Structure 1
Amino acid sequence: MRRIAVAKGDGIGPEIMDAVLKIFYEAKVPLEYVTVDIGKWVFDKGFNTGMTPEARQTIETLGILFKGPMETPKGKGVKSINVTARKTWNTYANTRTFQTLHGVDTVFSKAGIPIDITVVRENIEDTYGGIEHMITNDVAISRRIITRPGSMQVIKYAFEMARKKKARRITCAHKANIMKITDGLFLEVFQEVAKDYPDLKADDVIVDDLCMKLVTKPDTFDVIVLTNLQGDIVSDLCAGLIGGLGFAPSANIGDHICIFEAVHGTAPDIAGKNIANPTALLLSGIGMLRHLGLMESATMIENALLYTLEQGVHTGDFGNKSISAVNTTQFAEAITSNFGKQPGQGAKPHLKDAPVTETMFKLNENVMLESANAPAENIIGVDFFIESDEQPVFIANKCLRHGGVKFKLINISNRGTQVWPTGSVYTNLVNQYNVRFESIDDMPLKQQDILGLYVSLSGDFKICSSELLLMLGDKRAYSLAQGQ
């Protein structure tokens, strides 16, 4: 019997987890549950990751975590417990499936427009790295990290999943028209991977255009893959299309550890009242069963859920208000009483249990993700981010004294907009500039050259941070300022 780790969560978490596990028990699902200590209450005991060392060891041993909603304490400088878990165990692909559920009325279901969208969200990188700094009293920065290997992991997973799903279309959503380096890299990897899947229709769309089309023609989309922050926003938008987060399952897939969870909130206002809707967590658990190869149990439970919804059984947060709502326990009992019944619409086909290849193994060191056949790399300049409340021309006059025989001052920008050598007096400024130096005649530079310029320039300015300007092969690996 397969053992998995279970974390019941905060707020309504214990109630809905108990309801789901009761359904699994009645379905005779061959799983053994090992409860682990994760959540706000664990953080409040002094564990700054929100989990005990014993919980971490158990999860890393078992490889599967089934978790209820977790609350991250506000303030105190603590990171999100949910994000910490996903990132710690490199669950790089967050997968959420959004399907029309008969009995859950929405604008689209009433119009007869079926929805079946799977959002695959990169789960480790982007602004969710949480790398932020105040570099002056007025200016905060956040590093947005997009990597080629990280993008490759999630995009390959998305294509494989789309093929297994027999998807008619896979779409990369992005903002590469503006973020040409970061989103541009993500889109570039998508296009590379697409060449290996000629049987799938692969296309891309700018993310704001995607959002508009999702609320006008959602049935035209199938599988969508996005970067982390954009994926977070779009997945919640898609949840709204089918009735809300209470019907949105979530899986976090990694090579060694996977997390299946409800992504809605902890609803502390109704905690302990036994009235919460367990559907999202149940759907997440059904996805976990399929991941573990327990197809027969997954199909029986899902068809019973779909049948129950069709019959109008509902908790207080949805459904026909002329029919009395049931509580959490009664909702679970209604599902178990409908085992073996088929819904009139959307019934899931019965499949035999599938063998699952175990991916768990003991790691002795961290895995290094690195692309093969990287192009030649040359340093051709540097961006210095400096603090100053002076006008651009005065900053330029000072910078020009420091270039020496190796560097030329190229431009000065403020919040990404060029203000020297050309610019407009109508551009509002903050007290943090970027001054860009490049090598004379594009000659390659050494880090020692950059450090020498740093020391010289620091005599006139506080240097908040710096970035090397690289050429990767014949490709410029940095962006231009607006107006440059």
Structure 2
Amino acid sequence: MPTVNAQASYNNIPVPQDGEAIQYSNGTFTVPDHPIIPFIEGDGTGRDIWKASVRVFDAAVEKAYGGKRSVKWYEVLAGEKAFSQTKSWLPDDTVKATVDFRVSIKGPLTTPVGGGIRSLNVALRQLMDLYQCIRPVKYYAGVPSPVKRPELVDIVIFRENTEDIYAGIEFQEGTPEAAKVISFINDDMLKGGKKKIRLDSGVGIKPISITGSKRLVRAAIKFALKEGRKTVTLVHKGNIQKFTEGAFREWGYEVAVQEFRDQTVTERESWILGNLEANPNLTAEQNAAMIEPGLDFAAKEFQDAVVKEVKDTVASIGATHGNGQWKKKLLVNDRIADSIFQQIIIRPADYSVLATTNLNGDYISDAAAAQVGGLGIAPGANVGDGYAVFEATHGTAPKYADLDVINPGSVILSGVMLFDFIGWKEAARLIESSMEKTIAQKYVTYDFERQMQGATKAKTSEFATRMIENM
């Protein structure tokens, strides 16, 4: 039997008896040679994409391990197929299976219109507390791109996945609930001030917590250290939203300096140490003026605080990080959310790992993906403590469903992430290299074919077949 906790079937679909469940204990996954991995094929074009992708996955595993390893794929229901069979968009059994087997993969799902669950993706994330949305953005040679140097883009985005406006706390304009919230804020919290919420407003709540922020930044820093990345950038809108976005920034820096002190240096610390190395005779006041242009015009209290920052930095890490040692540390910096859109276009090589709040992460993930071929080949993962769901990042494109024309790259590369996650790196590299070779041969689906001179238009299934041949 797969595991003592697993059922014999979910949604009346029998569990494969020739596989085992992935286990998790003390922060570590234990992966058997024949793991049972649930899949949701997805709505619309998801059907075509999954059929192609699973052939690629199985071929890579067979090629890499010669039969010693195999994935026992197990279908669980969600979206339109689930609703037609169970009258539920997200059956309890599906959630239980993804929990029991811990690691799963899914295609694109429809968001039900006119009620029910607002977003099946959001529901899965919240139910399993998948607090990390991980989106690698990497260029594969030959992919059509709107920028001149797409090969410079190699960014992994860690997006907080459970709070911010995606907490789903909203009150519709004109309802008693909205009126109650507005009255409380206007008449109590803002009493006596000039700020007021218009009475005809809808209201949304944007919670940003210490818990949610710190665990997300912690995961991003651990990843950067493990993978030998050079920077982690905290992306926020703290210049405007000081107690939510700004707090995310502050809590992120706290994680870096309190939990990873020996391995990290903040950007301001690097300036202080760098200035002192360039001129060992600098006073703390002179150093402060260099890291804060215009400091002479600031309030005395602020001047004193910056001078204290310089002295504290030198005292606390001068011995461990000085004399150029800071250059070998992981650099933790921050950027305002709107500026990062420009930065990743004009200076992509300066950014390696981005850690960001939920809404900002949603925007920046898609914008970054546009530089390396778009959402058609943009993979993603939703990861929590002991659980992971890998997924396509694009929509269902129902008008193309069952036509065998859609690019399967997003699900295929999500499979690469999955194989890397469970430690099957040989299979992951086989898939990546065969995809790159297939694209280099200009044998691509219509979305790329129309942008590539001399390309051959392939069906979804044909692209997968060529990838398998190229292994």
Tell me how far apart the structure 1 counterparts of residues 358 and 256 of structure 2 sit (CA, whole Å).
Answer: 20
What's the CA shift for 1:185? 1.9
Q: 8 Å contact 2:139–2:150 — kept in the other structure?
A: no
Tell me how far apart the structure 2 counterparts of residues 38 and 46 of structure 1 sit (CA, whole Å).
Answer: 10
What's the CA shift for 1:295? 1.1
What's the CA shift for 1:140? 1.1
- Please tell me whether residue 130 in structure 1 is matched to residue 168 in structure 2: yes
- Report the counterpart of residue 311 of structure 1 in structure 2: 441
Instruction: Spell out, residue by residue over 1:328-371, the C-alpha distance to the aligned partner (whole angstroms, 9 max, x if none).
Output: 111001111011xxxxxxxxxxxxxxxxxxxxxxxxxxxxxxxx
User: RMSD between aligned alpha carbons?
Assistant: 1.6
Q: 8 Å contact 1:71–1:266 — kept in the other structure?
A: yes
Q: 8 Å contact 1:159–1:170 — kept in the other structure?
A: yes
Change (3 A) 1:51 1:100: same
The answer to which structure has the higher helix fraction is 2
- Report the counterpart of residue 114 of structure 1 in structure 2: 152
Among residues 22, 38, 46, which one is paired with 2:55 in the alignment?
22
Count, aligned residues: 337
- Please tell me whether residue 31 in structure 1 is matched to residue 106 in structure 2: no
Indicate the SS of the match to 1:102. coil
Tell me how far apart the structure 1 counterparts of residues 84 and 115 of structure 2 sit (CA, whole Å).
Answer: 11
Superposed, 1:48-67 pairs within 5 Å as 50-67=89-106
Indicate the SS of the match to 2:443. coil
Tell me how far apart the structure 2 counterparts of residues 155 and 132 of structure 1 sit (CA, whole Å).
Answer: 27
Instruction: Spell out, residue by residue over 1:206-241, the C-alpha distance to the aligned partner (whole angstroms, 9 max, x if none).
Output: 101111222322222111110001100110100111
- Please tell me whether residue 142 in structure 1 is matched to residue 204 in structure 2: yes
Tell me how far apart the structure 1 counterparts of residues 360 and 468 of structure 2 sit (CA, whole Å).
Answer: 37
- Report the counterpart of residue 235 of structure 1 in structure 2: 365
AA partner of residue 467 (structure 2): I
What's the CA shift for 1:106? 1.2
- Please tell me whether residue 184 in structure 1 is matched to residue 246 in structure 2: yes
Q: 8 Å contact 2:117–2:123 — kept in the other structure?
A: no
Superposed, 1:84-103 pairs within 5 Å as 84-103=123-142
- Please tell me whether residue 329 in structure 1 is matched to residue 467 in structure 2: no
Identity %: 33
Indicate the SS of the match to 1:103. coil
Q: 8 Å contact 1:40–1:72 — kept in the other structure?
A: no
TM-score calculated relative to the size of structure 2: 0.69
Which structure has the larger Rg over C-alpha atoms? Answer: 1
- Please tell me whether residue 277 in structure 1 is matched to residue 407 in structure 2: yes
What's the CA shift for 1:305? 1.2
AA partner of residue 127 (structure 1): I
Among residues 154, 176, 183, which one is paired with 2:216 in the alignment?
154
Indicate the SS of the match to 1:269. helix
Indicate the SS of the match to 2:38. strand
- Please tell me whether residue 293 in structure 1 is matched to residue 423 in structure 2: yes
Q: More deviation in 33-42 or 165-174?
A: 33-42
Indicate the SS of the match to 1:250. strand
Among residues 24, 42, 53, which one is paired with 2:82 in the alignment?
42
Change (3 A) 1:236 1:112: closer
- Please tell me whether residue 7 in structure 1 is matched to residue 139 in structure 2: no
- Please tell me whether residue 255 in structure 1 is matched to residue 385 in structure 2: yes
Q: 8 Å contact 1:308–1:338 — kept in the other structure?
A: yes
TM-score calculated relative to the size of structure 1: 0.67
- Report the counterpart of residue 170 of structure 1 in structure 2: 232
Tell me how far apart the structure 2 counterparts of residues 112 and 142 of structure 1 sit (CA, whole Å).
Answer: 37
Change (3 A) 1:272 1:158: same
What's the CA shift for 1:132? 0.5
AA partner of residue 407 (structure 2): N
Q: 8 Å contact 2:434–2:470 — kept in the other structure?
A: yes
Q: 8 Å contact 1:113–1:219 — kept in the other structure?
A: no
Instruction: Spell out, residue by residue over 1:77-131, the C-alpha distance to the aligned partner (whole angstroms, 9 max, x if none).
Output: 53100110111101110111111111112133x4465210111100001000110
Indicate the SS of the match to 1:330. helix
Indicate the SS of the match to 1:259. strand
AA partner of residue 120 (structure 2): I
Q: More deviation in 89-98 or 129-138?
A: 129-138
Instruction: Spell out, residue by residue over 1:5-44, the C-alpha distance to the aligned partner (whole angstroms, 9 max, x if none).
Output: 1110100101111111111222226211110011134246
What's the CA shift for 1:54? 1.9
What's the CA shift for 1:75? 2.3
Q: 8 Å contact 2:150–2:371 — kept in the other structure?
A: no
Instruction: Spell out, residue by residue over 1:357-400, the C-alpha distance to the aligned partner (whole angstroms, 9 max, x if none).
Output: xxxxxxxxxxxxxxxxxxxxxxxxxxxxxxxxxxxxxxxxxxxx
What's the CA shift for 1:2? 0.7
What's the CA shift for 1:251? 0.7
- Report the counterpart of residue 295 of structure 2 in structure 1: none
Tell me how far apart the structure 2 counterparts of residues 123 and 182 of structure 1 sit (CA, whole Å).
Answer: 15
Instruction: Spell out, residue by residue over 1:38-72, the C-alpha distance to the aligned partner (whole angstroms, 9 max, x if none).
Output: 11342466655x22222122111100121000011
Indicate the structure whose relative CO is greater, using CA pairs within 8 Å and at least 6 residues apart. 2
Tell me how far apart the structure 2 counterparts of residues 58 and 203 of structure 1 sit (CA, whole Å).
Answer: 39
Change (3 A) 1:111 1:159: closer
AA partner of residue 33 (structure 1): W
